[in-house]
Structure 1
Amino acid sequence: DPKKDPIIPQEQDFSCIKLFDDLGQGLGLHGSCTTSNDWGKITLSDGEQAFLNFSDTVSLDGTVASTITECSAFPCPVKIEEALAVHILGGPPYLPVKIKIAIVDESLNLVQQIAVKTQTDNGLHLYVDPTKFESGKYYRMYYRVSASGAPSLIEGYGNFLVCKTYIDGVNTTIESDCL
């Protein structure tokens, strides 16, 4: 039986990120990119969908299908040991929906999975736990929003960066204070 070459994990490049302030206002792009489809409706590959196909106990009972236009996570970059807000933009507002989230690192190692009920034009806050996340590292969040009778109102992903300090773009910069 011939020896097989070892499988070397493929690193992904998550360094193109959409920047958002702590209120979710867009601040442009960071990285070697001029455009980004992050946080919109993105058709996920079978491999990407597999991250979201975990079992959970969150029922679709009481959820309502609605038009979801995007998800976002802010601030980006996010300070370690702080909250990353995940916002579901759509309407009409305040309709109950379910969101499943899977976060991976650049080696596609699973960092966190969560499923919760929330509302349109609302969202949740995720604690950037220093036992799971590293400062100076990029991550990708896969998401799927669903409701009763609608298994996928929107799915996609967005990249984000974790930093050791809050980045204001004036007194602190991504290059000197994060990477």
Structure 2
Amino acid sequence: MNDDKVIELLEKISEWLQKRPSKGVRNNDREGVMILRLLKRLSTELHKVLPDDLKEHYRPQYSRGKSSLPRILWVSLCPKRRAVHNSMSVTICFSTSDNGFVFGIVDSVTMPQRWLPIVKREKGDITVNVDAVNYKYNNAFHNPKEMELDSIDIDVLRSHLVESSSILHQEILTRFPIIHVN
């Protein structure tokens, strides 16, 4: 993982969100294409942080929406053969109202799996808000960490992503053991 590139991508995405138009942004608009490229690059860089024994079990994904960008943008390390909408994943959710993001293991907000307990984040304790009208991510994390744009700690980000990936992988192995056929 290129630390400087990750910080630059996090900053560009967060800065774009602060000036995002109030109307929907179509995926094929100039701005939509630009932000999707940034999300894709960030998800790919984050995948590189995983040790080889975990890397093969995850694939990078990023929010796209069907035809327009969703209100809450995210990048994810999703377990292979699963999708973010129906699985737990290691995810960074970007705030639309605050200058930052929340990251860790997140449960699907459309089809919750409840494999791991979720932390209820109290309104008074939330510095970075990742809720939107239709999707509520504030209380979808198992192990949330907040990070504000002006205080990005790449070592904390890296270690939490690796630790979260390991926890989720172990949970998947426990819930879905591999059956060996002779």
Q: What TM-score range do you get, normalising by the shorter chain?
A: under 0.3
More helix by share: 2
Please tell me whether Structure 1 or Structure 2 has the larger radius of gyration of its CA atoms. Answer: 1
Q: Comparing both structures, which one devotes a greater share of its residues to strand?
A: 1
Structure showing greater relative contact order (alpha-carbon pairs closer than 8 Å, 6 or more residues apart): 1
* TM-score, normalization by structure 1: 0.25
TM-score calculated relative to the size of structure 2: 0.25
